[in-house]
Structure 1
Amino acid sequence: MREILFDTETTGVFPDHKEEKQRDRIVEIGCVEVFNLERTGREFHAYLNPDRDVPEEVVRVHGLRLEFLRGHKRFSEVVQDFLEFVGDAPLVAHNASFDQGFLNAELRRCGLPTFGDERFVDTLQIARKKFPGASNSLDALARRFELDRYGFDLASRKGAGGHGAIVDSRILAEVYLHLKGGREQALEFDPGAAAAADAALLRPIELARRTPRATPLPSPITQDEQAAHAAFIEKLGPNAIWLKVG
Protein backbone atom coordinates (compact mmCIF):
# COMPACT_ATOMS: atom_id res chain seq x y z
CA MET A 1 0.00 0.00 0.00
CA ARG A 2 1.36 3.40 -1.02
CA GLU A 3 1.22 6.21 1.56
CA ILE A 4 2.71 9.69 1.82
CA LEU A 5 4.25 10.78 5.13
CA PHE A 6 4.42 14.58 5.21
CA ASP A 7 5.09 17.60 7.39
CA THR A 8 4.90 21.38 7.01
CA GLU A 9 6.70 24.32 8.57
CA THR A 10 4.72 27.56 8.73
CA THR A 11 4.79 31.22 9.77
CA GLY A 12 2.41 30.53 12.66
CA VAL A 13 -0.81 28.75 13.56
CA PHE A 14 -3.62 30.74 11.89
CA PRO A 15 -3.99 29.85 8.18
CA ASP A 16 -7.52 31.27 8.10
CA HIS A 17 -7.02 34.49 10.08
CA LYS A 18 -9.85 36.99 9.44
CA GLU A 19 -7.28 39.57 8.33
CA GLU A 20 -5.67 38.45 5.10
CA LYS A 21 -2.28 39.98 5.89
CA GLN A 22 -2.21 38.06 9.17
CA ARG A 23 -2.96 34.67 7.64
CA ASP A 24 -0.12 32.25 8.23
CA ARG A 25 1.47 30.43 5.32
CA ILE A 26 3.49 27.29 4.65
CA VAL A 27 7.22 27.99 4.34
CA GLU A 28 8.41 24.38 3.88
CA ILE A 29 6.77 21.13 2.90
CA GLY A 30 8.36 17.69 2.94
CA CYS A 31 6.89 14.40 1.72
CA VAL A 32 8.23 10.86 1.96
CA GLU A 33 6.76 8.00 -0.03
CA VAL A 34 6.34 4.61 1.68
CA PHE A 35 5.11 1.34 0.26
CA ASN A 36 3.96 -1.30 2.74
CA LEU A 37 5.37 0.94 5.49
CA GLU A 38 8.91 0.99 4.06
CA ARG A 39 10.48 4.11 2.53
CA THR A 40 10.95 3.84 -1.23
CA GLY A 41 13.50 6.65 -1.46
CA ARG A 42 11.13 8.96 -3.37
CA GLU A 43 10.61 12.36 -1.72
CA PHE A 44 9.12 15.76 -2.44
CA HIS A 45 10.63 18.84 -0.75
CA ALA A 46 10.20 22.55 -1.23
CA TYR A 47 10.92 25.78 0.62
CA LEU A 48 8.23 28.37 -0.07
CA ASN A 49 8.09 32.16 -0.23
CA PRO A 50 5.22 33.10 2.14
CA ASP A 51 4.91 36.72 0.93
CA ARG A 52 4.74 37.85 4.56
CA ASP A 53 6.97 38.16 7.59
CA VAL A 54 8.18 35.19 9.63
CA PRO A 55 7.94 35.91 13.38
CA GLU A 56 11.15 35.44 15.33
CA GLU A 57 9.55 32.94 17.75
CA VAL A 58 8.73 30.73 14.77
CA VAL A 59 12.20 31.13 13.29
CA ARG A 60 13.56 29.68 16.53
CA VAL A 61 11.64 26.46 15.72
CA HIS A 62 12.57 25.87 12.08
CA GLY A 63 15.29 28.46 11.39
CA LEU A 64 13.70 29.76 8.16
CA ARG A 65 13.96 33.53 7.79
CA LEU A 66 12.18 35.60 5.16
CA GLU A 67 15.55 36.66 3.68
CA PHE A 68 16.15 33.01 2.77
CA LEU A 69 12.58 32.20 1.72
CA ARG A 70 12.27 35.16 -0.68
CA GLY A 71 14.57 33.31 -3.08
CA HIS A 72 12.20 30.34 -3.40
CA LYS A 73 8.99 29.64 -5.29
CA ARG A 74 5.52 30.31 -3.97
CA PHE A 75 3.12 27.47 -3.18
CA SER A 76 1.13 28.23 -6.32
CA GLU A 77 4.28 27.58 -8.38
CA VAL A 78 4.94 24.10 -6.93
CA VAL A 79 1.40 22.91 -6.21
CA GLN A 80 1.07 20.84 -9.40
CA ASP A 81 4.34 19.02 -8.69
CA PHE A 82 3.14 18.42 -5.14
CA LEU A 83 -0.25 17.06 -6.24
CA GLU A 84 1.39 14.84 -8.87
CA PHE A 85 3.73 13.41 -6.23
CA VAL A 86 1.06 12.60 -3.63
CA GLY A 87 -1.45 11.30 -6.21
CA ASP A 88 -4.38 9.57 -4.53
CA ALA A 89 -2.35 8.09 -1.65
CA PRO A 90 -3.38 8.55 2.00
CA LEU A 91 -1.62 11.49 3.67
CA VAL A 92 -0.02 10.61 7.01
CA ALA A 93 0.97 13.39 9.42
CA HIS A 94 1.57 13.93 13.12
CA ASN A 95 -1.28 16.08 14.44
CA ALA A 96 -2.72 15.88 10.93
CA SER A 97 -5.47 18.48 11.47
CA PHE A 98 -2.82 21.21 11.73
CA ASP A 99 -1.15 20.32 8.41
CA GLN A 100 -4.52 19.64 6.77
CA GLY A 101 -5.69 23.15 7.67
CA PHE A 102 -2.62 24.75 6.12
CA LEU A 103 -2.67 22.58 2.98
CA ASN A 104 -6.34 23.29 2.34
CA ALA A 105 -5.86 27.02 2.92
CA GLU A 106 -3.07 27.06 0.32
CA LEU A 107 -5.15 25.00 -2.13
CA ARG A 108 -8.09 27.38 -1.76
CA ARG A 109 -5.82 30.33 -2.58
CA CYS A 110 -4.91 28.49 -5.79
CA GLY A 111 -8.57 27.82 -6.63
CA LEU A 112 -8.02 24.05 -6.30
CA PRO A 113 -10.10 21.34 -4.56
CA THR A 114 -9.19 20.74 -0.92
CA PHE A 115 -8.42 17.44 0.83
CA GLY A 116 -11.21 15.81 2.85
CA ASP A 117 -10.81 14.37 6.33
CA GLU A 118 -10.92 10.82 4.96
CA ARG A 119 -7.65 11.43 3.14
CA PHE A 120 -5.61 11.88 6.33
CA VAL A 121 -4.07 9.49 8.86
CA ASP A 122 -3.06 11.05 12.18
CA THR A 123 -0.10 9.36 13.85
CA LEU A 124 -0.68 11.41 17.00
CA GLN A 125 -4.05 9.73 17.51
CA ILE A 126 -2.50 6.30 16.84
CA ALA A 127 0.26 7.00 19.39
CA ARG A 128 -2.22 8.20 22.05
CA LYS A 129 -4.14 4.94 21.77
CA LYS A 130 -0.95 2.90 21.91
CA PHE A 131 0.68 4.86 24.75
CA PRO A 132 -2.13 6.47 26.76
CA GLY A 133 -0.97 9.06 29.28
CA ALA A 134 2.57 9.25 27.84
CA SER A 135 4.15 12.09 25.91
CA ASN A 136 3.43 11.42 22.24
CA SER A 137 5.13 14.29 20.49
CA LEU A 138 7.16 13.30 17.44
CA ASP A 139 10.38 13.85 19.39
CA ALA A 140 9.14 11.75 22.32
CA LEU A 141 8.21 8.90 19.98
CA ALA A 142 11.56 9.15 18.19
CA ARG A 143 13.29 8.73 21.55
CA ARG A 144 10.93 5.92 22.58
CA PHE A 145 11.74 3.98 19.42
CA GLU A 146 15.46 4.87 19.70
CA LEU A 147 15.64 6.26 16.18
CA ASP A 148 19.19 7.43 16.78
CA ARG A 149 20.08 3.78 16.09
CA TYR A 150 18.96 4.39 12.50
CA GLY A 151 21.13 7.46 11.98
CA PHE A 152 18.75 10.23 13.08
CA ASP A 153 20.42 13.06 15.00
CA LEU A 154 17.83 13.52 17.75
CA ALA A 155 20.09 15.74 19.88
CA SER A 156 20.25 18.46 17.23
CA ARG A 157 16.47 18.86 17.30
CA LYS A 158 16.62 20.38 20.78
CA GLY A 159 18.41 23.50 19.59
CA ALA A 160 17.12 26.55 17.74
CA GLY A 161 16.05 25.75 14.18
CA GLY A 162 16.22 22.02 14.88
CA HIS A 163 12.99 21.17 13.09
CA GLY A 164 12.53 20.84 9.34
CA ALA A 165 9.70 19.44 7.21
CA ILE A 166 11.67 16.87 5.21
CA VAL A 167 13.68 15.67 8.21
CA ASP A 168 10.52 15.40 10.30
CA SER A 169 8.83 13.46 7.49
CA ARG A 170 11.67 10.94 7.44
CA ILE A 171 11.47 10.57 11.22
CA LEU A 172 7.70 10.23 10.99
CA ALA A 173 8.05 7.46 8.40
CA GLU A 174 10.16 5.43 10.85
CA VAL A 175 7.85 6.24 13.78
CA TYR A 176 4.81 5.20 11.71
CA LEU A 177 6.50 1.91 10.86
CA HIS A 178 7.02 1.21 14.56
CA LEU A 179 3.51 2.32 15.52
CA LYS A 180 2.05 -0.09 12.98
CA GLY A 181 4.28 -2.94 14.16
CA GLY A 182 6.12 -3.03 10.85
CA ARG A 183 9.38 -4.43 12.23
CA GLU A 184 7.52 -7.44 13.60
CA GLN A 185 5.08 -8.06 10.76
CA ALA A 186 7.27 -10.78 9.28
CA LEU A 187 6.65 -12.80 12.46
CA GLU A 188 2.89 -12.84 11.95
CA PHE A 189 1.45 -16.02 10.44
CA ASP A 190 -1.24 -16.13 7.79
CA PRO A 191 -4.25 -17.94 9.36
CA GLY A 192 -4.54 -20.34 6.45
CA ALA A 193 -0.84 -21.15 6.48
CA ALA A 194 -0.91 -21.67 10.24
CA ALA A 195 -3.86 -24.06 9.99
CA ALA A 196 -2.12 -26.05 7.26
CA ALA A 197 1.02 -26.27 9.40
CA ASP A 198 -1.01 -27.53 12.39
CA ALA A 199 -2.69 -30.17 10.23
CA ALA A 200 0.69 -31.35 8.98
CA LEU A 201 1.90 -31.79 12.56
CA LEU A 202 -1.14 -33.91 13.45
CA ARG A 203 -0.69 -36.37 10.57
CA PRO A 204 0.85 -39.71 11.67
CA ILE A 205 4.45 -40.30 10.67
CA GLU A 206 4.88 -43.07 8.13
CA LEU A 207 8.29 -44.72 7.96
CA ALA A 208 9.22 -46.26 4.65
CA ARG A 209 10.63 -49.79 4.98
CA ARG A 210 13.88 -50.50 3.17
CA THR A 211 14.56 -53.80 1.42
CA PRO A 212 17.56 -55.58 3.09
CA ARG A 213 20.70 -55.92 1.00
CA ALA A 214 21.22 -59.30 -0.58
CA THR A 215 24.85 -59.25 0.56
CA PRO A 216 25.87 -57.23 3.65
CA LEU A 217 28.55 -54.59 3.15
CA PRO A 218 31.99 -55.64 4.35
CA SER A 219 33.15 -54.11 7.65
CA PRO A 220 35.48 -51.11 7.12
CA ILE A 221 37.35 -52.00 10.36
CA THR A 222 40.74 -53.67 9.80
CA GLN A 223 42.03 -56.67 11.80
CA ASP A 224 44.66 -54.47 13.48
CA GLU A 225 41.90 -52.02 14.62
CA GLN A 226 39.82 -54.91 15.99
CA ALA A 227 42.85 -56.25 17.93
CA ALA A 228 43.63 -52.81 19.37
CA HIS A 229 40.00 -52.41 20.46
CA ALA A 230 39.96 -55.83 22.14
CA ALA A 231 43.16 -54.95 24.03
CA PHE A 232 41.61 -51.70 25.20
CA ILE A 233 38.45 -53.44 26.46
CA GLU A 234 40.52 -55.99 28.35
CA LYS A 235 42.25 -53.18 30.24
CA LEU A 236 38.82 -51.89 31.43
CA GLY A 237 38.26 -55.00 33.53
CA PRO A 238 35.33 -57.45 33.90
CA ASN A 239 32.77 -54.65 34.50
CA ALA A 240 33.43 -52.81 31.24
CA ILE A 241 30.21 -51.61 29.55
CA TRP A 242 31.45 -53.01 26.28
CA LEU A 243 31.32 -56.55 27.72
CA LYS A 244 27.70 -56.06 28.85
CA VAL A 245 26.38 -54.82 25.50
CA GLY A 246 28.36 -57.25 23.49
Structure 2
Amino acid sequence: MTRQLVLDTETTGLDAREGHRVLEVAAIEIINLMPTGRVFHRVIDPERDIPSDASRIHGFTSADVAGKPTFADIIAELETFLGDDPIIAHNAAFDFAMLDAEFARCGRPALPRSRMVDTLDLAKGRYPGMPNSLDALCRRMNIDNSMRTSHNALLDVQLLAEVYLELMGGRQPGLVLAIERSAPALLPGEAPIVRTPVMIEVDEGALQRHAAFIATKIKDALWLK
Protein backbone atom coordinates (compact mmCIF):
# COMPACT_ATOMS: atom_id res chain seq x y z
CA MET A 1 0.00 0.00 0.00
CA THR A 2 1.42 3.38 -1.05
CA ARG A 3 0.14 6.32 0.98
CA GLN A 4 0.77 9.92 -0.12
CA LEU A 5 -0.53 13.34 0.93
CA VAL A 6 -1.40 16.14 -1.48
CA LEU A 7 -0.83 19.45 0.30
CA ASP A 8 -1.28 23.19 -0.22
CA THR A 9 -0.89 26.26 1.96
CA GLU A 10 -1.99 29.88 1.83
CA THR A 11 0.19 32.50 3.49
CA THR A 12 0.47 36.17 4.37
CA GLY A 13 3.33 36.57 1.90
CA LEU A 14 6.04 34.85 -0.10
CA ASP A 15 9.01 34.75 2.27
CA ALA A 16 9.08 33.26 5.76
CA ARG A 17 12.37 35.08 6.39
CA GLU A 18 10.41 38.34 6.25
CA GLY A 19 8.03 37.11 8.95
CA HIS A 20 5.27 35.84 6.69
CA ARG A 21 3.11 33.09 8.11
CA VAL A 22 0.84 30.23 7.08
CA LEU A 23 -2.87 31.06 7.40
CA GLU A 24 -4.44 28.01 5.75
CA VAL A 25 -3.25 24.45 5.24
CA ALA A 26 -5.07 21.64 3.46
CA ALA A 27 -4.06 18.08 2.67
CA ILE A 28 -5.84 15.05 1.25
CA GLU A 29 -4.84 11.42 1.49
CA ILE A 30 -4.36 9.19 -1.54
CA ILE A 31 -3.55 5.49 -1.38
CA ASN A 32 -2.32 3.64 -4.46
CA LEU A 33 -3.11 6.77 -6.51
CA MET A 34 -6.74 6.85 -5.38
CA PRO A 35 -8.19 9.54 -3.03
CA THR A 36 -9.52 7.97 0.16
CA GLY A 37 -11.78 10.85 1.21
CA ARG A 38 -9.65 11.70 4.27
CA VAL A 39 -9.02 15.45 4.38
CA PHE A 40 -7.12 17.78 6.71
CA HIS A 41 -8.10 21.46 6.49
CA ARG A 42 -7.51 24.29 8.92
CA VAL A 43 -7.75 28.08 8.68
CA ILE A 44 -5.17 29.59 11.04
CA ASP A 45 -4.62 32.87 12.84
CA PRO A 46 -1.18 33.88 11.49
CA GLU A 47 -0.65 36.18 14.49
CA ARG A 48 0.12 39.11 12.23
CA ASP A 49 -1.60 41.33 9.66
CA ILE A 50 -2.52 40.05 6.21
CA PRO A 51 -1.26 42.47 3.53
CA SER A 52 -3.82 43.59 0.96
CA ASP A 53 -1.73 42.11 -1.87
CA ALA A 54 -2.01 38.68 -0.26
CA SER A 55 -5.73 39.13 0.40
CA ARG A 56 -6.30 39.81 -3.29
CA ILE A 57 -4.77 36.41 -4.10
CA HIS A 58 -6.48 34.13 -1.60
CA GLY A 59 -9.37 36.26 -0.34
CA PHE A 60 -8.54 36.07 3.38
CA THR A 61 -8.56 39.22 5.49
CA SER A 62 -7.50 39.69 9.10
CA ALA A 63 -11.18 39.63 10.10
CA ASP A 64 -11.58 36.18 8.49
CA VAL A 65 -8.88 34.60 10.66
CA ALA A 66 -9.62 36.41 13.92
CA GLY A 67 -10.25 33.86 16.66
CA LYS A 68 -8.99 30.93 14.60
CA PRO A 69 -6.46 28.51 16.15
CA THR A 70 -2.78 29.33 15.83
CA PHE A 71 -0.33 27.05 14.07
CA ALA A 72 0.89 25.84 17.46
CA ASP A 73 -2.68 24.75 18.19
CA ILE A 74 -2.93 22.55 15.09
CA ILE A 75 0.62 21.27 14.59
CA ALA A 76 0.15 17.98 16.46
CA GLU A 77 -2.95 17.16 14.45
CA LEU A 78 -1.18 18.09 11.21
CA GLU A 79 1.87 15.96 12.01
CA THR A 80 -0.36 12.99 12.78
CA PHE A 81 -2.21 13.35 9.49
CA LEU A 82 1.00 13.72 7.45
CA GLY A 83 2.71 10.81 9.16
CA ASP A 84 5.97 9.83 7.46
CA ASP A 85 4.59 9.57 3.93
CA PRO A 86 5.51 11.49 0.76
CA ILE A 87 4.02 14.99 0.47
CA ILE A 88 2.93 16.23 -2.95
CA ALA A 89 2.70 19.97 -3.62
CA HIS A 90 2.89 22.36 -6.58
CA ASN A 91 6.09 24.40 -6.31
CA ALA A 92 6.65 22.29 -3.21
CA ALA A 93 9.80 24.13 -2.10
CA PHE A 94 7.64 27.15 -1.19
CA ASP A 95 5.16 25.18 0.92
CA PHE A 96 7.94 23.24 2.64
CA ALA A 97 9.85 26.45 3.44
CA MET A 98 6.77 28.10 4.95
CA LEU A 99 5.97 24.98 6.98
CA ASP A 100 9.62 24.71 8.09
CA ALA A 101 9.38 28.17 9.64
CA GLU A 102 6.13 27.29 11.42
CA PHE A 103 7.55 23.98 12.67
CA ALA A 104 10.69 25.77 13.93
CA ARG A 105 8.56 28.24 15.92
CA CYS A 106 6.96 25.23 17.61
CA GLY A 107 10.31 23.57 18.30
CA ARG A 108 9.67 20.82 15.76
CA PRO A 109 12.13 19.55 13.10
CA ALA A 110 11.72 20.50 9.46
CA LEU A 111 9.99 18.15 7.06
CA PRO A 112 12.60 15.95 5.34
CA ARG A 113 13.12 16.95 1.72
CA SER A 114 13.18 13.25 0.86
CA ARG A 115 9.40 13.34 1.33
CA MET A 116 8.90 16.14 -1.21
CA VAL A 117 7.17 15.41 -4.52
CA ASP A 118 6.88 18.56 -6.66
CA THR A 119 4.15 18.45 -9.30
CA LEU A 120 5.67 21.54 -10.92
CA ASP A 121 8.86 19.58 -11.62
CA LEU A 122 6.82 16.62 -12.87
CA ALA A 123 4.83 18.90 -15.18
CA LYS A 124 7.98 20.58 -16.55
CA GLY A 125 9.37 17.16 -17.38
CA ARG A 126 6.19 16.15 -19.19
CA TYR A 127 5.42 19.52 -20.81
CA PRO A 128 8.78 21.25 -21.30
CA GLY A 129 8.57 24.89 -22.34
CA MET A 130 4.82 25.10 -21.70
CA PRO A 131 2.90 26.97 -18.98
CA ASN A 132 2.67 24.66 -15.99
CA SER A 133 0.72 26.62 -13.40
CA LEU A 134 -2.10 24.75 -11.68
CA ASP A 135 -4.66 26.57 -13.85
CA ALA A 136 -2.73 25.78 -17.05
CA LEU A 137 -2.48 22.10 -16.13
CA CYS A 138 -6.19 21.92 -15.30
CA ARG A 139 -7.04 23.37 -18.72
CA ARG A 140 -4.64 21.02 -20.49
CA MET A 141 -6.02 17.97 -18.67
CA ASN A 142 -9.69 19.00 -18.97
CA ILE A 143 -10.06 19.28 -15.20
CA ASP A 144 -12.87 21.66 -14.22
CA ASN A 145 -11.35 24.57 -12.29
CA SER A 146 -14.22 27.00 -12.86
CA MET A 147 -14.70 27.34 -9.09
CA ARG A 148 -11.13 28.60 -8.65
CA THR A 149 -11.71 32.35 -8.45
CA SER A 150 -9.08 32.70 -5.71
CA HIS A 151 -6.23 30.64 -4.27
CA ASN A 152 -8.12 28.61 -1.68
CA ALA A 153 -5.95 25.82 -0.22
CA LEU A 154 -8.75 23.26 0.07
CA LEU A 155 -9.94 23.71 -3.52
CA ASP A 156 -6.37 23.91 -4.82
CA VAL A 157 -5.37 20.68 -3.13
CA GLN A 158 -8.39 18.89 -4.60
CA LEU A 159 -7.49 20.12 -8.09
CA LEU A 160 -3.83 19.30 -7.52
CA ALA A 161 -4.71 15.73 -6.59
CA GLU A 162 -6.47 15.33 -9.94
CA VAL A 163 -3.50 16.87 -11.75
CA TYR A 164 -1.05 14.59 -9.94
CA LEU A 165 -3.05 11.48 -10.77
CA GLU A 166 -3.10 12.52 -14.43
CA LEU A 167 0.65 13.18 -14.37
CA MET A 168 1.15 9.69 -12.96
CA GLY A 169 -0.82 8.09 -15.74
CA GLY A 170 -4.44 8.94 -15.05
CA ARG A 171 -7.07 7.54 -12.74
CA GLN A 172 -8.85 4.28 -13.45
CA PRO A 173 -12.57 5.07 -13.22
CA GLY A 174 -13.44 1.55 -14.36
CA LEU A 175 -11.72 0.18 -11.28
CA VAL A 176 -13.72 2.51 -9.03
CA LEU A 177 -16.96 1.47 -10.69
CA ALA A 178 -16.06 -2.19 -10.30
CA ILE A 179 -15.45 -1.69 -6.60
CA GLU A 180 -18.68 0.24 -6.13
CA ARG A 181 -20.72 -2.35 -8.03
CA SER A 182 -19.23 -5.27 -6.16
CA ALA A 183 -21.14 -4.37 -2.98
CA PRO A 184 -24.34 -2.47 -3.91
CA ALA A 185 -26.33 -0.80 -1.17
CA LEU A 186 -29.48 -2.69 -0.20
CA LEU A 187 -32.77 -1.30 1.04
CA PRO A 188 -34.06 -2.60 4.42
CA GLY A 189 -35.35 -6.16 3.95
CA GLU A 190 -33.96 -6.41 0.41
CA ALA A 191 -32.05 -9.58 -0.44
CA PRO A 192 -28.83 -9.39 -2.47
CA ILE A 193 -28.99 -10.46 -6.11
CA VAL A 194 -27.11 -13.71 -6.72
CA ARG A 195 -25.94 -14.20 -10.30
CA THR A 196 -25.08 -17.70 -11.51
CA PRO A 197 -22.51 -17.89 -14.33
CA VAL A 198 -23.83 -19.50 -17.52
CA MET A 199 -21.49 -21.60 -19.65
CA ILE A 200 -21.79 -20.76 -23.36
CA GLU A 201 -21.08 -23.77 -25.56
CA VAL A 202 -19.82 -23.30 -29.12
CA ASP A 203 -20.50 -26.07 -31.66
CA GLU A 204 -17.73 -27.59 -33.77
CA GLY A 205 -18.97 -25.93 -36.97
CA ALA A 206 -18.69 -22.45 -35.44
CA LEU A 207 -15.16 -23.23 -34.26
CA GLN A 208 -14.14 -24.35 -37.75
CA ARG A 209 -15.63 -21.23 -39.37
CA HIS A 210 -13.82 -19.03 -36.84
CA ALA A 211 -10.51 -20.81 -37.53
CA ALA A 212 -10.97 -20.33 -41.27
CA PHE A 213 -11.74 -16.63 -40.79
CA ILE A 214 -8.62 -16.14 -38.67
CA ALA A 215 -6.47 -17.97 -41.21
CA THR A 216 -7.54 -15.62 -44.01
CA LYS A 217 -7.58 -12.34 -42.06
CA ILE A 218 -4.74 -12.52 -39.53
CA LYS A 219 -1.23 -13.62 -40.39
CA ASP A 220 0.75 -15.44 -37.68
CA ALA A 221 -1.86 -14.96 -34.91
CA LEU A 222 0.06 -14.93 -31.62
CA TRP A 223 -2.49 -17.01 -29.72
CA LEU A 224 -2.06 -19.89 -32.22
CA LYS A 225 1.67 -20.21 -31.51
Shift of 1:156: 3.8
Match of 1:2 in 2: 3
- 3-state SS of 2:35 partner: strand
For 2:151 and 2:14, the matched residues in 1 are separated by 16
Q: RMSD between aligned alpha carbons?
A: 1.8
Q: 1:146 to 1:76 in 2, by over 3 A?
A: same
Out of 201, 221, 228, the residue aligned to residue 223 of structure 2 is 201
Match of 1:63 in 2: 59
Residues 1:140 and 2:162 are matched in the alignment: no
Instruction: Give matches, 1:58-137, under 5 Å.
Output: 58-137=54-133
Contact persistence 2:90–2:119 (CA under 8 A): yes
For 1:116 and 1:3, the matched residues in 2 are separated by 14
Question: Aligned letter for 2:71?
Answer: F
Unaligned runs of 5+ in 2: 176-221
Question: Aligned letter for 1:73?
Answer: P
Question: Aligned letter for 2:16?
Answer: P
- 3-state SS of 2:17 partner: coil
Shift of 1:186: 8.4
CA deviation digits over 1:73-108, x for unaligned, max 9?
A: 000000000000111110000000000000111000
Shift of 1:3: 0.2
Unaligned runs of 5+ in 1: 18-22, 149-153, 188-199, 204-246
Question: Aligned letter for 1:146?
Answer: N
Q: How many residues align?
A: 178
Question: Aligned letter for 1:11?
Answer: T
- 3-state SS of 2:16 partner: coil
Contact persistence 2:34–2:171 (CA under 8 A): no
Match of 1:180 in 2: 168
- 3-state SS of 2:36 partner: strand
- 3-state SS of 2:130 partner: coil
Which one has the largest radius of gyration? Answer: 1
Shift of 1:184: 6.3
Match of 1:51 in 2: 47
For 1:121 and 1:6, the matched residues in 2 are separated by 10
- 3-state SS of 1:177 partner: helix
Match of 1:38 in 2: 34
Instruction: Give matches, 1:164-243, under 5 Å.
Output: 164-183=152-171, 201-203=223-225
Residues 1:14 and 2:36 are matched in the alignment: no
- In the TM superposition, structure 1's runs of 4+ consecutive aligned residues that sit over 6 Å from their partners are 184-187
Q: 1:78 to 1:166 in 2, by over 3 A?
A: same
Contact persistence 2:26–2:157 (CA under 8 A): yes
Q: TM-score, normalised by structure 1?
A: 0.69
Quote the sequence identity (%).
43
